[in-house]
Amino acid sequence: SAVISQKPSRDICQRGTSLTIQCQVDSQVTMMFWYRQQPGQSLTLIATANQGSEATYESGFVIDKFPISRPNLTFSTLTVSNMSPEDSSIYLCSVEGGINYGYTFGSGTRLTVV
Amino acid sequence: GQQLNQSPQSMFIQEGEDVSMNCTSSSIFNTWLWYKQDPGEGPVLLIALYKAGELTSNGRLTAQFGITRKDSFLNISASIPSDVGIYFCAGQPAGTASKLTFGTGTRLQVML
């Protein structure tokens, strides 16, 4: 299955600033997915990123707050903009691993906004 | 967004005991996946299920795709300390290709 490198692994940021999270995959994939995991909670899909087109956002998430880039088939970025303490979460990227491999996840970015 | 109902929410068990957890949904799913998440890590796939009624094992783990396509269970036999973690079910609802919906999670703690 695919191997995902995600960085940074953690960061502490001031409110009002923005953080860009990078996700690198070791193979070409059509779709990449970004999730948020709030403290003690499950994973919620933020958006699906396709190469060459705008990301598709889930209900409750908007492009101005979470702009996504997908410049090629192995890389994507998620920016958390104008951060507030409520944005403190783990952000994870994921790709389809193929049949019998489900979806593979990066190790996540633990964001704390102070 | 939709979340799957997963139970129990948490479990304290003795080492060596068997564990069972399940997920239910009000809608039909095409795929069921079971993941384990350790602290500071992303979820790691344990078992993938693709057909209604399918029963699949991975070592001490066994999972089944419910015949109604609205539920799934995961069993862990003879638990060991490294089984500690959070277990999530996840599924692809029918008609939503490539989107995963996650369960609320089961936190497993094993007492020696």
Neighbours of A9 (CB within 10 A): 12
**CA-wise closest residue to A10 among A95, A83, A93, A107:** A107
Query: With contacts defined as CB-CB under 8 Å, which chain A residues touch B38?
Result: none
Residue B76 pLDDT exceeds 60: yes
Best of A10, A23, A24, A42 to substitute, by most chain B Cβ atoms within 10 angstroms, is: A42
Q: Alpha-carbon distance B76 to B62, whole Å?
A: 7
- Mean pLDDT in chain B? 92
Residue B86 pLDDT exceeds 80: yes
Query: With contacts defined as CB-CB under 8 Å, which chain B residues touch A43?
Result: 43, 88, 90, 100, 102
What's the whole-number mean pLDDT along residues B21-28? 94
With a CB cutoff of 8 Å and minimum separation 6, the contacts of A89 are: A36, A37, A38, A39, A111
